[in-house]
Every structure is written in structure tokens, then in C-alpha cells.
Amino acid sequence: MNAHTIGWRGTPLQPFCVLVSLWIVISSSVIDASSSKEEALKQQHLRLLGELSESHRAASPYLVVDTRGNVVQLRDRDHQLVRTAVAATGAARRFEGDKKKWKWSWRFATPTGRFSVLRKVSDPLWVKPDWHFIEVGEEVPVFAEDPRRFQRGILGSYALYFAKDLMIHGTLYEINLGQSITHGCVRVGAEDLQFFYENVDVGWPVYIY
Amino acid sequence: MARLHLLNRPCWIGALLVFAIWAPSGSDGTVQTTTNEAHLQHINASLARWLELANRDTHFLVIDHDADELRLYHHTALLRTCKADLATVATVIDSLTVSTHLRRLRSASPYVSPSVGPFDWERYLSDAATRHSALLLSDETLIRGAADEHSVWGAVAGATLSSADLRALFDALPDGTPVVRLPKGWASGDVTP
């Protein structure tokens, strides 16, 4: 067999040679296009991972309150646990006084969402709200400045406000920690409270769920 | 005419058949490349969604098939990490949300007293999760507690996690909460699906 026989009029191998070369050309172009697309996707993947890792770091350490598990956690900017404290959170119960005298009702729940530490107070003063007097069956003082409304010591040594009337504070009854029994505030033990007071700054986020 | 004549030969026809079958798929490598591309696209879509949600002031859930975890985030803050069995969860990527909270009313037994907890007993309906509760995602994935002999879910496919984690997520995630599902290999870029 000479070279001439491998022409169009040659052996049955001729069509195979033509088609195989055609296939090689087509498949190589398909593979090139696919690999360049895959390369672009890999680049995009790396870019997204980079952006995610940049935005992943929190702007500041933050507090997390788990109202179901009754736990407060302090996490650093890399989301690592710094401190975990057993807490007591809102009972989520509704309270109504005598309807003839009081048309209002209260729901004693710890709100969920994103808050921040508004201020830190040592030796906080408890300003008793109306529901306290109704709850204990006492007459509700008419004036806001009535001395019966103020009491020190009952909130523990420190308080970290995260809303106007809501705070992380201490308790006289640490045996009740771990339960959902409060009127909306978050209670923690004395040691944990001191740690939070000393290590948490005003402005740090408080996430409650 | 000579060429047309050549096309009539059986060998040409055979060769054309082989070409027609083989050429579109290229080779095994090309098929693999296409699968890898699709998988990478899924991963990138998930990461982009995560980035988008991290800039919103809202809770969202991340289902991580690499770490076998469900993680609850708010903004960029990590609120809770839940170890989960995700073996029966399909890794289909989608714009998922929490669709429904499945719950039961109080125990069927009239002799069981309600336990202490954040329940709204005035309506005689538990707002919080029980061990029979589950979260249903928009793609019909079920997030439920680990099965026990009293479980109503039996062998239903879905993500299973501890009762404590389920209760926490159940209470924390209202309907419509966004969910990001990260397939295996999302962090390493290992595109083998």
C-alpha cells in the first residue's frame, strides 16, 4: 500500500482518519471553551470567598442572648466564644390587672432582634413600673417621682441597658437563673455580670433570638 | 459524484454513527467539566446569597453540607451553631426560605400538664417548639428533631438535629426567613459534586 492508496479512493481506513481528525478539532475547541468557563467560575469563587471572609469578621465583639436556652454569650470579632453565662429571660406571659381599674395589659417577653449596649450603670436604681404594683397588689403611685417607685440593690451591682427599659442586670435569686421568668430583662449571675460590665463596651451589638 | 459514492460505503456510515454518538459528548472529561461548571455555579450562587444576606438586618439560616451544621446568623454575627445530620438532605441550590412551622397543639393526653417555659398558654397553643415540631423549607426540606421512639416524623427525610437546637431554631426563625444552602466543597473549591 503506498501513499496514493490513502487518498479518497483508498482503503476503508480513510473515512476514520478524516472523522477522527474532525472530532479532535471539535472536541478540543469544546474543551477549551469549557475550561475557560470553568476557570472564570473558579476566579469568581475565589473572589466571593475573599469578600465573604472580609465581611465575615464582625465590626466589634457582640453579645448573643438565647431566650429559649436562657444563655448569654460574649463572642469576639471572629465569632469565638469569650464567655457564656446562664441567664433568665422573659416569661412570655401576658399580665392584666383588675380590668375595672386598669385597661392595659403587659406581655413580659424579651424582645428579639438586634440591639446595642446603650449605657452601663453601676449600682443601678430600679424604677418600679406600674405593673409591679399591680402584680404585688399595692396601690399604684400617681406621680412618677413618688419615692415608692425607686429601689436600689434589687438589680444587682451593674446594669447594661440595651433598650429604654430593658437591661442585662443581676438578681437576688440566682437559683432562678436558667428559667424563663423575667418581665423582659435579662438576668445573669453576679460574677458574669461583673465580667460583662468590665469587658463589654457601650455600642457593642446585642443580638437576641 | 465520486464522493457521494463514497458516502454509500458501509464504513463511512459506521464512522459517521460513531462520530455522531461520540462527538457531542467529546469525552468523559468534557462531561465532567460540564458537571463541575454546574457545581461551581451552585457554590457561587450560594456564596453570593450569603454575602447579600450578611448585609441585611435579619436572621438567616445557613445549611453547611461541608461541616454538617446549621448556623443561625444575624447580619454577620453568629448566633448559634447546630450540629445536624444532613445525609438525607438534597443539595439542590435554590433561593430557600422557611415556609411553615409545623407544630402540634398541646399533648393529646389530657393528663399531661404544661411544662414551664415561654409558652402562651392563654391560647392553649404552644408558640414554642415541642419535640414533634419541625420547620418546613420552601423546597420541602424538613428540619426536625432527632428521631426517637415517640417521633411523629419516623423516617421522613430531612435535616435532623438535637431537640434543644430544633426548639431554638423553631422559635428564632419566622416564616419567610432566608436560608442559604452551601453544598459540599464550597470552601475548598473542590468541585467534585
Instruction: Report the distance separating Cα A26 and Cα A39, nearest Å.
Output: 20
Mean pLDDT of A46-63: 88
Residues 6+ apart with CB under 8 A from A39: none
Please name the residue of chain B whose CA is at the shortest distance from the CA of residue A58: B76
Domain end residue (candidates: A36, A56, A76)? A56
pLDDT score of B19 more than 70? no
In this predicted complex, what is the ipTM? Answer: 0.73
* A8 and A95 housed in the same domain: no
> pLDDT category, B124, cuts 50, 70, 90?
very low
* A80 and A182 housed in the same domain: yes
* A35 and A87 housed in the same domain: no
Q: B15 touching A, CB under 8 A?
A: yes
Weakest-pLDDT range from A67-81, A155-169, B168-182: B168-182
* A76 and A14 housed in the same domain: no
Residues in B touching A92 (Cβ below 8 Å): 118-120, 127
B11 found inside a domain: no
Q: Which of B22, B33, B169 to mutate to test the interface with A (most CBs of A within 10 A)?
A: B33
* A46 and A134 housed in the same domain: no
The pLDDT tens digits of the residues spanning A117-133 come to 999 999 999 888 888 88
- Top-confidence residue, B132 or A197: A197
B6 found inside a domain: no
Q: B106 touching A, CB under 8 A?
A: no
> pLDDT category, A87, cuts 50, 70, 90?
very high
CB atoms within 10 A of CB B187: 16
Cell of A43: 476566579
Cell of B169: 431554631
Residues in chain B: 193
If residue A150 lies in a helix (H) or strand (E), which one and from where to where? Answer: strand A150-152
Record the pTM: 0.73
CB atoms within 10 A of CB A23: 16
* A93 and A48 housed in the same domain: no
Split into its structural domains, chain A has a count of 2
Q: What's residue A197's pLDDT? A: 97
Split into its structural domains, chain B has a count of 1
* A152 and A95 housed in the same domain: yes
Q: How are beta strands A186-188 and B142-145 bridged, if at all?
A: unpaired
Q: What's residue A19's pLDDT? A: 66
Instruction: Report the distance separating Cα A76 and Cα A63, nearest Å.
Output: 9
* A174 and A117 housed in the same domain: yes
Coil, helix or strand at residue B14: helix
CATH number of residue B55's parent domain: 2.40.440.10
Domain that holds residue B165: 30-182
B144 found inside a domain: yes
Domain end residue (candidates: A56, A78, A95)? A56
pLDDT score of B185 more than 80? yes
Cell of B106: 398541646
pLDDT score of A206 more than 60? yes
CB atoms within 10 A of CB B66: 14
B157 found inside a domain: yes
- Top-confidence residue, A51 or B8: A51
B59 found inside a domain: yes
* A44 and A83 housed in the same domain: no
CB atoms within 10 A of CB A4: 8
* A11 and A84 housed in the same domain: no
Q: What is the DSSP string of A9-50?
A: TS-THHHHHHHHHHHHHHHHHHHHHHHHHHHHHHHHHHHHHH
Please name the residue of chain B whose CA is at the shortest distance from the CA of residue A17: B15
Domain that holds residue A27: 3-56
* A19 and A99 housed in the same domain: no
Residue B9, φ and ψ in degrees, nearest 5: -70, 140
- Top-confidence residue, A81 or B10: A81
Find where cell 457561587 sits. B44
> pLDDT category, A36, cuts 50, 70, 90?
confident
The pLDDT tens digits of the residues spanning B67-117 come to 999 999 998 899 999 999 887 777 666 678 887 777 654 554 556 555 544
Domain end residue (candidates: A56, A71, A95)? A56
* A105 and A147 housed in the same domain: yes
B20 found inside a domain: no
